[in-house]
Amino acid sequence: GENVEQHPSTLSVQEGDSAVIKCTYSDSASNYFPWYKQELGKRPQLIIDIRSNVGEKKDQRIAVTLNKTAKHFSLHITETQPEDSAVYFCAASVTGTYKYIFGTGTRLKVLA
Amino acid sequence: DAGVIQSPRHEVTEMGQEVTLRCKPISGHNSLFWYRQTMMRGLELLIYFNNNVPIDDSGMPEDRFSAKMPNASFSTLKIQPSEPRDSAVYFCASSLGDGEKLFFGSGTQLSVL
C-alpha cells in the first residue's frame, strides 16, 4: 500500500543553524506534498506545500525540494529560532483518492 | 472563516459509554477527514467523505466506530462502546478536494477511563 517514510524522528540544532527533514513516498503518481508543523497540544498547521510540477518552493526561512525520480522530498529551515521547535509532518497525496498519507513526524528542538 | 470547528475540546468518559465527536468543516470544502493521533501510531486516517458520501472507511478500527455526514456542514464520529485504548486526540480536517490544502480542526482530546 501507499507509504511515507520520514527521517529523522528527532533533530536537535543550535539556534541559527539549518534543519533538514527528509521524506520518501511510494506512490509514484503522488502529485501534492504538504508539510505541517504541530506545536504541543495544538493542531497540525500547514506551513508549506509543493506540487509535482515544481522542483523547489521557498517561503522566507523555509523551503521544500522535490525529487520525483527518487520519490524524495525535503523540508529545509534556515536560521532556526526557538519558536521553530515543534513536530513536523510530511504528507503525500494518494492518486485516485482524496486522501493523504502522513509521515511519522520529526520532533525538532532548537537549542538557544 | 472560523476554520474547521470541533467539539468538544476535551472528553473524559468511562469505559462502555458512548462518545460522540462533532465537526463543522470550512464552508465550501467538499472533503472531510477524521484522523486519530497517538504517540504510538501517529496520525491515522479513520474515514473520509467527499460531498457528504463516505469514500473510504478502511481505517476505522472496528465496528464500535461509526461516522456520519448528514449535510455539508456537519459530521460526527461515534464510539460505542468506548474502551480505554480509544484514548487519543481525534482531529477533523477538510479540503476543497483532491490534491488541495488540508486544514485541521483543534482536535478532541478523548480519555476513556
Predicted confidence (pLDDT) per residue in B13-50, tens digit: 999 999 999 999 999 999 999 999 998 888 999 999 99
Predicted confidence (pLDDT) per residue in B57-81, tens digit: 999 988 999 999 999 999 999 999 9
- Is the pLDDT at B1 greater than 70? The verdict is no
CB A24 within 8 A of CB A71: yes
CB A46 within 8 A of CB B103: yes
* Separation of alpha carbons A92 and A78, rounded Å: 23
Shortest alpha-carbon distance between residue A105 and chain B (Å): 8
- SS3 label, residue B64: coil
The pairing of strands B10-13 and A106-111 is: unpaired
Task: Give the model's pLDDT for residue B104.
Answer: 97
Task: Give the model's pLDDT for residue B30.
Answer: 93
Task: Give the model's pLDDT for residue A24.
Answer: 97
Task: Give the model's pLDDT for residue B99.
Answer: 79
CB A21 within 8 A of CB A4: no
From chain B, pick out residues whose CB is under 8 angstroms from the CB of A101: 45
DSSP state of B85: G
Mutation target for B interface from A23, A43, A90: give the one with most B CBs within 10 A. A43
Task: Give the model's pLDDT for residue A97.
Answer: 83
Task: Give the model's pLDDT for residue A39.
Answer: 96
* Residue for grid cell 505541517: A36
* Separation of alpha carbons B6 and A12, rounded Å: 33
Task: Give the model's pLDDT for residue B27.
Answer: 95
Task: Give the model's pLDDT for residue B2.
Answer: 79
Q: Which residue from B75, B70, B62, B77 is spatially nearest to B19, judged by alpha carbons?
A: B77
Task: Give the model's pLDDT for residue B62.
Answer: 85
Residues of chain A short of pLDDT 50, as ranges, are none
- SS3 label, residue A15: coil
A99 to B56: CB separation less than 8 angstroms, yes or no: yes
Please name the member of A36, A97, A102 whose beta carbon is closest to the beta carbon of B56.
A97
